[in-house]
Amino acid sequence: MLSKKSERFLKEFRIEMMTRGKNEEYRDELEEELRDHLTMAEQNGTSLESVTGGSVKNYLKTLSSEIPETNDLKRNLVLLFVFLIGMFTIPSLIGGSFDYTLAMLFYYICTALLGPILFYTAVKFIFIRYTSLQTEKIDKMGIFLCVIYAVFYMGMLSGGLYLAKNYPLYELFELSTQINMTIGLILLGAFIMVTILMKKWFYAFLITAISLPDVISRLFINNDPTSGNYLMVSSILVIIVNILVFAVLIFYSKKEDKNTSN
């Protein structure tokens, strides 16, 4: 049984390898090898620092050339933040409420820059402190913090969007509602096509579900996004879509649990 200090170092080591896009097979091998070294060191009364140097990043540098890289994590991170930007852009384009202002430009730049940093910081903090390397499961406190982080992050995105819309700073240019809708539909189609080609079916489903109320309302109900009929139908469709997304999440969760138990 390793000490808490060694277990924490192992977790940091694994997460650092993941964030640098190191190959999963080699990650597992090096992690087990390091675990053996640390176990022997503790049995012999040798310190962690004498084995690793005390720094995960410095220790990884000595192994860096031995570990092949894979771009899966980097690709998924890029896709995640492109999706978040699309989630706040495509529906408003289709609905005709998108603004081309300096504040919106700042909003998207900050989202793209701060998003990966906040995500990495939160994942590293939670995984290091609240997961088991043996079971690879997050404990209840870790799940609670994940929920808090998700609420905080979505609140930050929503709050930033609210401020950008209400304090535009400077209007760069203005397009007609019809052009905005056309741009939104083109971006929606492109996003769905890319996610399907990448076999990210859930992203494709989610962006479609989020955009569907505005698509149906604009194309089949009323072309004026400020009309009473448009707002009523759009609101009802949002509720239906949320129920469907929740149902899909439950289905996949139960399916994953079943596959894990088998």
Mapped onto helix, strand or coil, the DSSP state of residue 99 is: coil
Please report the pLDDT score of residue 85 as a whole number: 79
Token pair recorded at residue 39? 């176990």
The per-residue DSSP string of 193-207 comes to HHHHHTT-HHHHHHH
Q: Name the residue among 10, 8, 70, 4 with its Cα closest to residue 37.
A: 10
Q: Per-residue pLDDT for the chain (262 aa), expressed as one digit of tens each?
A: 678 888 888 878 877 776 666 666 677 787 888 888 888 888 888 888 888 887 887 777 777 655 555 555 566 667 777 777 787 788 888 877 788 899 988 988 887 777 777 877 887 787 777 776 555 577 788 888 888 887 887 788 778 878 888 898 898 888 888 888 899 999 999 989 988 888 888 788 888 877 877 777 777 765 555 556 655 665 666 566 656 655 665 665 566 556 555 5
- In angstroms, the Cα distances linking 140 to 4, 132, 144, 184 are 19, 12, 6, 40
Please report the pLDDT score of residue 242 as a whole number: 59
Please report the pLDDT score of residue 227 as a whole number: 59
- Distance between CA atoms of residues 64 and 85, nearest Å: 33
pTM of the model: 0.60
Q: What is the DSSP letter of 133?
A: T
Q: Counting beta carbons within 10 angstroms of the beta carbon of residue 138, is it exposed (0 to 12), middle (13 to 18) or buried (19 or more)?
A: middle
Please report the pLDDT score of residue 34 as a whole number: 85
Mapped onto helix, strand or coil, the DSSP state of residue 74 is: helix
Q: How crowded is the C-beta side of 79, counted as CA atoms within 13 Å?
A: 21
